[in-house]
A and B are shown apart, each in its own frame.
Chain A
Amino acid sequence: MKNKPIYLDYQATTPCDPRVFAIMAPYFTEVFGNAASRSHAYGWEAEDAVSKARAQVANALGATEKEIIFTSGSTEAINLALKGVVDMYGKKDAACPGHIVTSLAEHKAVLDTCKHLETQGVEVTYLKPDRTGRHSAAQVAEALRDDTLLVAIMWVNNEVGSINPIEDIGKLCKERGVLFFSDATQAVGKIPIDVEAAGVDLLCLSGHKVYGPKGVGALYVRRRKPRVRLVAQMDGGGHERGMRSGTLNVPAIVGLGAACELAVQELDKDRAHSRALRDRFEKIIFENLDHVHINGDPEHRVDLCSNLSFSYVEGESLIMGISGLAVSSGSACTSASLEPSHVLMSMGVGDELAHSSIRFGFGRFATDSDVDEAAKETIAAVKKLRELSPLYEMVQEGIDLSTVTWTAH
């Protein structure tokens, strides 16, 4: 690809850190053993590498090694956690095996798994987040029932970066004896994670969101107070304490471990870097454009995320106008569904602003000059498109758009 755009889509994925890749490299060729081979040195070497990675991942979460199950990524970990809990703890042979509380702002991996469970009779309460994309423990408390098996609330939202009060929700779940799963895919490496302090029973993370490789992730499964048990969702050799069969992807697991160790070591540095870039970006944007809104909670927001709505400009046309930037839009038109972002819609930001949103992410390898170029392109494109926008023209003429009768189609 010539003239590659500036990469500011760090919530979608991150490049593998070269330091991580260097650690992984020998495990593709020289150290190729099957970690389950107990009878020779090749296997032992691979097993040692996996053990080290397990300790690195556990350390990043405040967990113990035996509580880490390696998976192919967060989606698999989510499926295993939710389905595994229902299969283990749900009422057998009952019309409704149990109840789950989750959020409308969750990732599709959680929402679609819940939808699948609904076909098996599980009842699911989908909580509506507040205007900033967050949930309170009180809101979760109201939804709990006697037969609630699990609460599934994400730690950090992938689209708007809002941070949920996980400690409060964890405390509530402990008090009520309900298991608590949190999708921490967007939280690890962005904020400190401690499963003990947070009272989380199950948690997932993904390698490629933390400067590690793709195709690998982990599920944390609490072993004490309470000891959480899951029914495996894949039959096979009984790897990973019987919870996830399949030969371990040793190079990827080594990479995940190394990436988690780096994420812990560089957490403060990464955060300060992201914060400085985002502040710089938003300052330039707000100094040069009116009618721009921050989606998410300006206070409880991960440092790298800036989700902005540029009123009176449609998101996909804006993406076309900033072709020098790799970012994503909450607009309908970037997806096949023609529905705008379900996260923004659940927050009640309104269709217009949902259609006008762009998510920027300022991660480890972004620079000041990237930010300046991104701001410059964005400002130019928004100004150009507003010249084209009948809505902006109406607003300039003093027309209140909410009073206009539109011909919906």
Chain B
Amino acid sequence: MAYSDKVLDHYNHPRNVGSMDKNSKEVGTGVVGAPECGDVMKLQIQVEGDTIVDAKFKTFGCGSAIASSSLATEWVKGRTLDEALKISNTDIVAELSLPPVKIHCSVLAEDAIKAAIEDFKRKRDSKE
């Protein structure tokens, strides 16, 4: 299978690899996918006020899954939560030129962003 240059670039130089303290109130963590499906993405965001100031990811999956999550971390940084929620998998497909068989990777990345934001909001809104 031939990969687009952008997929190869993200695969060879993944952005924002790493982990944040998932117990921190400022951090939202989204883990989506399943090992038996061949891809698991963990995407974390650090939020100040309403703005995502940092993002990290780790992904078990094919090159397109790694590239999709790497791109997602780049895109969410600096956005407000509402802006980040508007990132759609089709944007990721277009940016990375993903073939049809890899569209599920972009869906997973979108789900990971949403799950991380949900986790952050849940923690923020919960009373201590």
Distance, CA A217 to CA B102, complexed state (A)? 37
Residues of B within 8 A of A138 (CB): none
Q: Are A314 and B60 CB-contacts (below 8 A) given A334-B1, A390-B40, A409-B111? A: yes
User: Shortest CB–CB separation between residue B91 and chain A, in angstroms?
Assistant: 19
Chain B residue with minimal CB distance to A316? Answer: B62
> B59 contacts the other chain (Cβ, under 8 Å)?
yes
Stretch with Cβ within 8 A of B (4 or more), from A10-18, A43-51, A75-83, A400-408: A400-408
Distance, CA A408 to CA B33, complexed state (A)? 5
Residues of A within 8 A of B8 (CB): 320
Q: Are A407's CB and B39's CB within 8 A?
A: no
Q: Are A388 and B59 CB-contacts (below 8 A) given A334-B1, A336-B101? A: yes
User: Shortest CB–CB separation between residue B9 and chain A, in angstroms?
Assistant: 12
Q: Are A331 and B62 CB-contacts (below 8 A) given A388-B17, A409-B107, A409-B108? A: yes
Residues of A within 8 A of B17 (CB): 387-388
Q: Are A409 and B61 CB-contacts (below 8 A) given A317-B66, A333-B38, A391-B40? A: no
Q: Are B108's CB and A351's CB within 8 A?
A: no
> A332 contacts the other chain (Cβ, under 8 Å)?
yes
A409 interface neighbour in B1, B14, B58, B104, Cβ under 8 Å? B104
Interface residues of B in 83-128 (CB under 8 A from A): 101, 104, 107-108, 111, 115
Interface residues of B in 36-69 (CB under 8 A from A): 36-42, 58-63, 65-66
Q: Are B36's CB and A388's CB within 8 A?
A: no
User: Shortest CB–CB separation between residue A293 and chain B, in angstroms?
Assistant: 14
Q: Are A390 and B31 CB-contacts (below 8 A) given A314-B38, A334-B1, A409-B111? A: yes
B63 interface neighbour in A317, A351, A406, Cβ under 8 Å? A317
Chain A residue with minimal CB distance to B108? Answer: A409
Residues of B within 8 A of A243 (CB): none
B35 interface neighbour in A320, A334, A401, Cβ under 8 Å? A401
> B24 contacts the other chain (Cβ, under 8 Å)?
no
Number of interface residues of A (CB under 8 A): 30
Q: Are B63's CB and A390's CB within 8 A?
A: no
Distance, CA A355 to CA B33, complexed state (A)? 14
User: Shortest CB–CB separation between residue B7 and chain A, in angstroms?
Assistant: 9
Residues of A within 8 A of B37 (CB): 351, 408-409
Residues of B within 8 A of A406 (CB): 33-36, 40
> A152 contacts the other chain (Cβ, under 8 Å)?
no
Q: Are B107's CB and A340's CB within 8 A?
A: no
Interface residues of A in 140-169 (CB under 8 A from B): none
- Write out, one digit per residue, whether chain A residues 318-332 have a CB within 8 A of any chain B CB (1) or not (0): 001100000000011
Residues of A within 8 A of B63 (CB): 316-317, 320
User: Shortest CB–CB separation between residue B39 and chain A, in angstroms?
Assistant: 7
User: Shortest CB–CB separation between residue B68 and chain A, in angstroms?
Assistant: 12
Q: Are A393's CB and B58's CB within 8 A?
A: yes
Q: Are A389's CB and B58's CB within 8 A?
A: yes
Chain B residue with minimal CB distance to A405? Answer: B34
Chain B residue with minimal CB distance to A320? Answer: B63
Interface residues of B in 1-29 (CB under 8 A from A): 1, 3, 8, 11, 14, 17, 19
> B32 contacts the other chain (Cβ, under 8 Å)?
yes
Distance, CA A333 to CA B62, complexed state (A)? 7
> A312 contacts the other chain (Cβ, under 8 Å)?
yes
Residues of A within 8 A of B11 (CB): 317, 320-321
User: Shortest CB–CB separation between residue A346 and chain B, in angstroms?
Assistant: 15
A390 interface neighbour in B38, B58, B62, Cβ under 8 Å? B58
Residues of A within 8 A of B14 (CB): 388
Residues of B within 8 A of A401 (CB): 35
Chain A residue with minimal CB distance to B34? Answer: A406
Chain A residue with minimal CB distance to B39? Answer: A314
> A195 contacts the other chain (Cβ, under 8 Å)?
no
Given contact pairs A388-B17, A406-B36, a sample of 10 additional A-B residue pairs in the complex whose CB atoms are under 8 Å apart: A316-B63, A317-B65, A317-B66, A331-B62, A338-B101, A340-B38, A390-B42, A391-B40, A401-B35, A407-B115
Can you report 20 residue pairs joining A to B where beta carbons are below 8 Å apart?
A316-B63, A317-B11, A321-B11, A334-B1, A336-B101, A338-B38, A340-B38, A351-B36, A355-B36, A387-B17, A388-B14, A390-B41, A390-B58, A390-B60, A391-B35, A391-B60, A393-B19, A407-B32, A408-B33, A408-B34
